[in-house]
Structure 1
Amino acid sequence: MHRPDKGGRDKVETRNLEVNHFLVEFDEGRVIFHYDVDVKARGTPSWPQKISKLYLSLIRKKLFSDHRLPSSAYDGERNIFSSEPLPAETYDVDVFIDGDERLVGYSVTFRLVKVLELHKLRDYLRLGFGSERESKQRCDSFGRCFFPMHNPRTPRDVIIPTEGFQQSLKPTSQGLSLCLDYSVSSYVGKDKPVLEFLLEQIPNLNLNQTSTFKSKVETLLVGLKVNVTHRRTKQKYTITRLTRRATKDISFPALDSEGRYTGWTPSLDGFFLQKYGKKIQHVDLPALDFGGNKMNYVPMELCVLVKDQRCPRKNLSDTNAATELTRKAVIPPPMRRDKIRALVKSNEGPCG
């Protein structure tokens, strides 16, 4: 007796699966040169040995504008990769720092670390793979996220949700594969006083009820970078926590330039009034703690958020910006597929 559905075969349907993995083609005859980058201040022994990322960024821009470094990519810290050998010499770079008031010279030296021959990568890929466990033991996966900074904004925007992509390279039995996915992040769109930022982002925030909102304020601010307004400097400070006590209740022993006690134990608001002439209005608020080995406290009203810094999504829970960020991040699968396709074709994508 025959079954009317031919044993269930009439109900078999074929579905094509689309994946966000793309085979990578590369020229096996090419070579990539990996150099270590050593940056030192020139002729300024009193200058700090550790160079901040802000200054490294200025040095990188100046280096590439003043010197011809063909087909090379610099990560802004210790590594530069080039498809052509670079001259083994020291480059002199002069940049303005501290509000464009001081010209500081740096010496940048390249040291060849490794020559990466791409035919060896092809040979490795042709070996094939055993179990997933073996694959993980024999290779490392790596990747980065990229977010363009020219997303549309209005003058009122402070937190800008921005669309970008994350990628990673995976060795597979079919060859080198690029895994590409749509991603959403957010950044601070403009310089903004910390107190104004809090009032805009935390619903129903009352500055006179700090104990009620302290947890939300700390969640939003910790990890963000600020500039201070009580003195002229371009230095950026990272918020590590809020102080346990209110600004008016914090006191500390004042030290001179040699670290000796001066006999003066001011309150935090009294210190800023006497030394900088700044009368603190919100003395009942906790101050921002910048961490370090000493008491590095600054009242919130003297701090301004640095623009174009990333604002992690975990910081934005229970804020007005969280709704828009979630709307962009949680999208239907067909829309996600279309965005990934657009990224592949985009000049800002991995193939651009």
Structure 2
Amino acid sequence: RPGYGTAGTGTTVLANNFWVRFDKTRNVFHYDVVVTPDVPAGFKRAIIQAMIEQYKNEKIQCLPVYDGEKSLYTAKSIGDSLELDVKLGDVDDTMYVARRDTDFRVTLRLASRPNLGSLANFLGGRTTVCPHDTIQVMDLVLRECATNSKNLVPGGRSFFSPNLGNKDLGGGLVAWQGFYMSIRPAQDNLLVLNIGTSFQSFQEGQTLVEFVSRSFGADPRDLDRNMRRQDAQGDTYRVKMKKLVKGLKVETSHCKTKRKLKIVSLTRQPLETLNFNMNGMQVSVADYFRQTYGLNLAFGGFPAVEQGSGDRKKYIPLELCRLVKGQNFTRRVNDDQRKGLSAMTCCLPEQRVNATQQACLNLKKQSEDHAKEFGVEINPNWTRVPARVLNPPKVKYGNGEICPRDGTWNMINKKMVEGREIKHWGIISCSNRVRENDLQRIAQQLSSACLSYGGLDVNVVMPPLVVTVPQTVDEAIRSSVKKLAERNIELQLLVCILPDLTIKRLCELELGVITQCAQEGKIRKCDPRYLANLILKINAKFGGKNAVICAQDLKKCKPVADSPTLIIGADVSHPRAGEETGCSMAAVVASMDWPGFAQYATVVRSQPSRQEMLDDLFWENVDEQGRSVSGGIFKEMLMAFHHRTNFIPERIIYYRDGVSEGQFEAVLRSEYESLQRAEKRSKQPSKGPKITFIVVQKRHHTCFFPATKPTGKNQNISPGTIVDKVVCHPTNFDFYLCSHQGIKGTSRPVHYHVLKDENGFTANEIQQFTHDLCYLYSRCTRAVSYVPPCYYAHLAAQRAQAWVDPEGS
């Protein structure tokens, strides 16, 4: 950390981080755990709990904490090695009932003795090596009671319960409220407990047939008929059903003893044609259940749950399975469910404060025994943190400057800095409520608005189209584009009323036409503010420049103002939750103007599924003539910047989105090295540009709240609020920035980590520049929550993912 920022107006905020005190003289013993015979991770916890209960008055006279895998920690020694025989006895989970009489042997071997003194030295700044093993002990101590509680359901690092809050989402899903908790190192010799509210969708207790039918939005009998079809449509239904139910836990209902199982696969055949070998004879599954259990199956077209392999396969009809209530639903939810979940999560700061405070008090009470055992204490008072509110930059347009207020402004009487020429464009409606005369009026109003805001030579060349049958949309667009081509007219832009992904895929991948979608309800009114927003998006898509930061504000970061600087943003989009196939999409954007930072070029690449490290950033090969050749995304961007600006960048600021703290070192090593190698092969001078590498984290649980009663309508902290003290890392250069105005719910700051800084920026320079960049998002007239380069990369990666996703959104 080069120091602390001083720019802006000082203020105080409350953080949902609670001080944790610990006794650095306490002993901690780390034991490796081996369970024989080996069992799944979820089963191990039940065995270890049985072991602790069985031997608590003999060989384990302490309160251990267990990580659920291979590590157990105690505050007292239980010897260097210990072998204990454990009988599971009664278990609540019927998935393990078959093994409750099994004799297990648990072997504990002393692996290490985490030193709490090393944690105290790290927090005090006397060493830069973070003792992660010791922090893990503190985290496990406070999580132990919540993890073993029968009233809480774990999900990642959060715990959920319907008693904390719930909402019916429809389709067999219900949203539960919970709380997130994590121990983090902080400044001023502090260890803090970060507690935040969480929300997650869970399964309701219902039959599997009910769940499948509600998810498909169809009557079970209609779905059964479609499943019987032996054609492509029937195959589509079966594949979709398999994706929907795979991994779910169900409970069978046909036996006296209920049994839980996890669905691994479904049969390819419908139940009515499914046979199996029993005592050398082929018996149908339907006949077996009728003769053995007296059950007449109603849905013979459905596939069956398939368990086991080879000759030991077992088949269970879907109608005899019931979903286990309260299991986490990690797959993609539909639009209505997403809206319901968003409505629940969008709570005001005061509500979030109350929920967080209650969660902290409950956790302190529940973990009291284990905390006392390890010498740990939670302070339930909110941490008061010094903060600053940065002044907004002046935004420069083609005919003047404007000073944003509360992170927003408007385009009234403003002209874009650089409007792009659009000679040939058309408009199409997929709504039966927008007719041809409406389209002509909208086209005229949009053309007039383009001219008033600085656009050039707009000309509608394609007759307005009204298409109300979805199957004819593609055909209508193709026909119109073909007719224009016969007149040697190339369509540049197509404005689509009511967005349709098919249109996007067709125009962008096949016809090479830029599209702009518009909402039917808003564009019919021709509201000037809505038209202005559309024009901002259209101009940006054509490479125009809507606005820039005025030169005086840019000089607050003098190194960037004085030297040609390239801004790069990168992100990776992964396949949807529960999707086994498909690839990840990496997107890299780079600024193509200096010092405006308003125009960006984009490169998108596919890479292996769920791989976070970017591929194809730089490569070197030898061609057939033995010459060295090189390429890759970074080299393309460096050469494009030189071509567009006639400058060779002297500084590069690289914003990387979507990286967790555990991946910092690997990402820095891989992508920083690729950027360095690209510089050397891009005809750069011997002294290449200096690089600043910044990771942008949006998905965290740290929130800030006004320390005094807020006067604003949304009760959030002010846009421009920045924090780099107390709750930040004790040695690394990081800061929290809330650059935007919270419209709904509680504002969440973005956590920026400066992993490498060869440019030697001061804290004020990099913080102010990052803040000011958030006012240059080309698609709206407000400051956005994180830097536009990462925003654009995120949008590009998502668009590429939609191109390859057959059920894209």
Q: 1:286 aligns with which of 299, 303, 316?
A: 303
1:65 counterpart SS class: helix
* Distance in structure 2 (CA, Å) of the matches to 1:34 and 1:76: 14
Secondary structure, counterpart of 2:22 in structure 1: coil
- The 2-side partners of 1:332 and 1:197 are apart by 33
3-state SS, counterpart of residue 296 of structure 2: coil
Contact (CA 8 Å) 1:194, 1:304: kept in 2 or not?
A: yes
**Structure 2 counterpart of 1:196, from 206, 210, 224:** 210
> Are positions 1:326 and 2:366 aligned together?
no
Match of 1:229 among 250, 253, 268: 253
Letter in 2 for 1:179: N
1:8 match = none
Q: Which residue of 1 aligns with 2:67?
A: 75
Corresponding position: 1:342 with 2:358? yes
**Aligned residue identity for 2:327:** Q
Partner of 1:179: 194
Distance 1:118 1:13, change over 3 A: closer
The gaps in structure 2 that reach 5 residues or longer are 1-7, 140-155, 227-233, 368-377, 381-809
Contact 1:30-1:118 within 8 A present in 2 as well = yes
Alignment match of 2:159 (pick from 141, 147, 152): 147
The letter of the residue matching 1:113 is: A
Of 101, 105, 108, which residue of structure 1 is paired with 2:106?
108
What is the CA-CA distance between 1:283 and the residue it aligns to? 0.5
The CA deviation at 1:331 is 2.3
Distance 1:197 1:318 in 2: 14
Q: 2:22 aligned with 1:21, yes or no?
A: no
Partner of 1:93, secondary structure, is strand
Q: Which has the higher helix share?
A: 2
Pick from 182, 186, 196 the counterpart of residue 168 of structure 1: 182
Q: What amino acid sits opposite 1:39 in the alignment?
A: V
Q: Which residue of 2 aligns with 1:44?
A: none
Matched, 1:90 2:108: no
CA distance in 1, matches of 2:173, 2:263: 17
TM-score (norm 2): 0.34
Q: Comparing 271-280 with 79-88, which one deviates more in the overlay?
A: 271-280
Residue by residue over 1:88-144, the C-alpha shift from the partner in whole angstroms, topping out at 9 and shown as x without a partner, is 4333332247758963332323211111110011123334688xxx98xx9699775
Superposition deviation, residue 159 in structure 1: 4.5
**Aligned CA distance change for structure 1 residues 277 and 24 (closer, same or farther; 3 Å):** same
Which residue of 316, 324, 327 corresponds with 1:309?
327
Give the deviation of 1:72 after TM superposition: 1.5
Q: Partner residue of 1:4?
A: none
Residue 157 of structure 2 aligns to a residue whose secondary structure is strand
Given the two structures, how large is their TM-score scaled by the length of structure 1? 0.70
CA shift for structure 1 position 184: 1.2
Residues 1:318 and 1:103: Cα distance change in structure 2 (over 3 Å): same
Q: Give the match's secondary structure for 2:25.
A: coil
1:128–1:172 contact (8 Å) kept in structure 2: no
Residue 86 of structure 1 aligns to a residue whose secondary structure is coil
Matches within 5 A, 1:259-270: 262=280, 264-270=281-287
Question: Does structure 2 retain, via aligned residues, the 8 Å contact 1:145–1:164?
Answer: no
Relative to structure 1, is the Cα distance of residues 13 and 119 closer, same or farther in structure 2, using a 3 angstrom cutoff? closer
When structure 1 is superposed on structure 2, of 303-312 and 116-125 the one drifting more is 303-312
Q: 1:31 aligned to 2:47? A: no
Residue aligning to 1:43: none
Alignment match, 1:208: 222
C-alpha displacement of 1:171: 3.2
Change (3 A) 1:129 1:96: closer
Shift of 1:27: 1.0
Letter of the aligned partner of 1:56 in structure 2? K
**Per the alignment, in what secondary structure is the counterpart of residue 71 of structure 1?**
coil
What amino acid is aligned across from residue 91 of structure 1 in structure 2? L
Displacement of 1:284 in angstroms is: 0.9
The structure-2 alpha-carbon separation of the partners of 1:53 and 1:271, relative to structure 1 and needing over 3 Å to count, comes to farther
After TM superposition, the structure 1 stretch with the greater mean CA deviation from structure 2, 300-309 or 275-284, is 275-284
Q: Which amino acid letter does the alignment assign opposite residue 16 of structure 1?
A: T
- Residue 31 of structure 1 aligns to a residue whose secondary structure is coil
- Which residue of the other structure, out of 48, 60, 69, is the alignment partner of 2:48? 60
Q: How far has the Cα of 1:301 moved from its partner? A: 1.0
SS of corresponding position for 1:195: helix
Amino acid across the alignment from 1:246: P
For residue 197 of structure 1, report the CA deviation from its aligned partner: 3.5
- The question of whether the paired residues in 1 share the 8 Å contact of 2:121 and 2:127 is answered with no
| Structure 1 residues 57 and 116, CA gap change in structure 2 (3 angstroms) | closer
Residue 292 of structure 1 and its aligned partner are, at CA, apart by 5.7
SS at match of 2:251: strand
Secondary structure of the structure 1 residue equivalent to 2:102: strand
Residue type matched to 1:194 in 2? L
Distance 1:341 1:63 in 2: 34
SS in structure 1 opposite 2:77?
coil
The number of residues matched between the two structures is 317
Q: Percent identity?
A: 24
C-alpha distance in structure 2 between counterparts of 1:101 and 1:27, whole Å = 41
Query: 1:60 is aligned with what amino acid?
Result: I
CA distance change for structure 1 residues 21 and 149 in 2, over 3 Å: closer, same or farther? closer
Deviation string for 1:203-236 (max 9, x for gaps)?
A: 4444323458667655543321112334466653
Partners of 2:246 and 2:347 lie apart in 1 by: 29
SS of aligned partner of 1:304 = strand
Query: How far apart are residue 332 of structure 1 and its match?
Result: 3.1
CA RMSD of aligned residues (A): 4.1
